[in-house]
Amino acid sequence: MTEPILRTQDLTFRYTTAEGVAPTVLDCVNLTIEPGAFVAVLGHNGSGKSTFAKHLNAILLPSGGRVYVDGMDTTDEALLLDIRRTVGMVFQNPDNQIVASVVEEDVAFAPENLGVPSAEIRRRVDEALEAVGMTEYARHAPHLLSGGQKQRVAIAGVLAMRPRCIVLDEPTAMLDPVGRREVLDTICTLNQELGMTVVLITHHMDEAARAQRLVVMDNGRVVKDGPPAQVFQDVVGLRRLGLEVPDSVALMYELRQAGLDVPLDVLTPEDCARAVAQILPH
């Protein structure tokens, strides 16, 4: 069997505050993510999902347990750069992660840090911009781009490290629907066409529905883990966690409550329309 790209083993994290109180943010998280997977991590604000993400490339180190990136222990300082070039990270606010005042200079930032020769950097920058569809904006100033475009530049900046895995912490939270679609389509392309492992932290159910695997977190623990169609079936359980299911699933649930025999595992409007058609008279 192949080595998992990400593996956490009893991962526990506590903040140490001035008063010495140490609330537990992550509580014995055990997760294994295989190369090429597309995993969405869902949870309400404060469920620990962002803290979890920051452990995946050694921005935070566990208070207890271990995190392995492609077999490397994240507490091993000698491996820090190798870990960070393996797992790239994209954050919520695109403005606060763009370093340079020209798009291509920004994309070049990571390979420059890694000491890649100039000709090779040029090649990587062009490739990365191509992959996110921003080639024509290479010489633009980032602050004049739309939110979705900025976020794609941020993704390109990570791709230029040639990571094997990319972790996105609520990348669409600050974007409008068009920007959200741009970014999400980009993420899906990376996963499907380049075989990149994707971990998407989100609280948008429709985004989570596009993943292959859904992990739900609450109070620093993993409470559900499975394919979206299966996880969404527990409508009541998710609502109790402060989460909503996609409207299509909610409709199926309502119809079931009304005594109709409909499947709960519909994820898209197409699936939903097909399921409804089954019970409608022509």
Partner 1 sequence: MTPIIQTKQLTHIYSPGTPFEHAALKGIDLTVDPGEYLAIIGRTGSGKSTLIQHLNGLLRPTSGQVLFDGEDIWSSKERTRQVRFQVGLVFQYPEYQLFEETVYRDIAFGPTNMGLSPDEVDHRVRQAARFVGLEDHTLEQSPFDLSGGQKRRVAIAGVIAMEPKVLILDEPTAGLDPAGAAQILGNIRAYHREKHAAIILVSHSMSEVAREAQRLVVFREGTIPYSGTPQEVFSHGAELEGMGLGVPEMTQVFARLRAMGYSVPASVYTVEQARDAILLARKGVQG
Partner 2 sequence: MNLKDITLGQFFPGNSFLHRLDPRMKLLGLICYLVALFLAQWFVTYGVMLLLLVWGCAVAHIRAKTLLGGMKPVIFLLIFTAVLNMFYTPGTPLVSFWIFTITYEGILHAFFMVVRIMMLICATFLLTYTTSPLSLTDGLESLLSPLNRVRVPVHELAMIMSIALRFIPTLIEETDKIMCAQRARGADFDSGGLIRKAKALIPLLVPLFISSFRRADELATAMECRCYHGGQGRTRMRELRLRPSDWLFLAAMIVVAVAIGVLGQSGL
Identified binder of partner 2 from the candidate list 14, 44, 122, 221, rule CB under 8 A: 122
Question: Interaction with partner 1 in 222-281: which residues (CB under 8 A)?
Answer: 242-244, 246-248, 250-251, 254-255, 258, 269-270, 272-273, 276-277, 279-281
CA gap 181, 187 in Å, rounded: 10
Rg (CA), the chain: 20
User: Of the candidates 32, 46, 99, 194, which one interacts with partner 1 according to CB under 8 A?
Assistant: 46
Q: Does 88 sit near partner 2 (CB under 8 A)?
A: yes
Q: Are 248 and 269 in contact (CB under 8 A)?
A: yes
Tally of CA atoms within 13 A in the half-sphere of 105 that contains its CB: 8
280 binds, among partner 1, partner 2, none (CB under 5 to 8 A by kind): partner 1
Tell which phi-psi region holds residue 140, choosing left (phi > 0), alpha (psi between -120 and 50) or beta: beta
Size of the site for partner 2 (CB under 8 A): 39
Q: What are the two backbone dihedrals, phi and then psi, of residue 148, each rounded to the nearest 5 degrees?
A: -65, -40
Contacts of partner 2 in 97-116 (CB under 8 A): 97-102, 104-105, 108-116
Q: 3-state class of 253 per DSSP?
A: helix
Q: Which does 44 bind (CB under 5 to 8 A by kind): partner 1, partner 2, none?
A: partner 1
Sole binder of partner 2 in the list 9, 36, 59, 135 (CB under 8 A): 59
Unique residue bearing structure tokens 């921005």 = 59
Is residue 249 a contact partner of residue 232, using CB atoms and an 8 Å limit? yes
Listed ranges 18-26, 95-103, 236-244, 263-271: which one lies at the site for partner 2 (CB under 8 A):
95-103
* Residue 115-154 contact track with partner 1, rule CB under 8 A, x = bound: -------------------------------xx-------
Per CB under 8 A, contacts with partner 1 among 156-195 are 170, 173-174, 176-179
Query: Mask: binding to partner 2, 256-275, rule CB under 8 A, as x and -?
Result: --------------------
Tokens of 232: 């969404």
**Beta-sheet pairing, 38-42 with 197-202:** parallel
Q: Residue with structure tokens 């609450």?
A: 218
Closest CA to 90 of 187, 15, 216, 209: 187
Per partner kind, with CB cut-offs from 5 to 8 A, the member of partner 2, partner 1, none near residue 157 is partner 2
Smallest distance from partner 1 to CB 256, Å:
10
CA distances from 272 to 51, 213, 215, 232, 252 (A): 35, 20, 23, 14, 8
Chain positions contacting partner 1, by CB under 8 A:
44-46, 92, 146-147, 170, 173-174, 176-179, 203, 206, 242-244, 246-248, 250-251, 254-255, 258, 269-270, 272-273, 276-277, 279-282
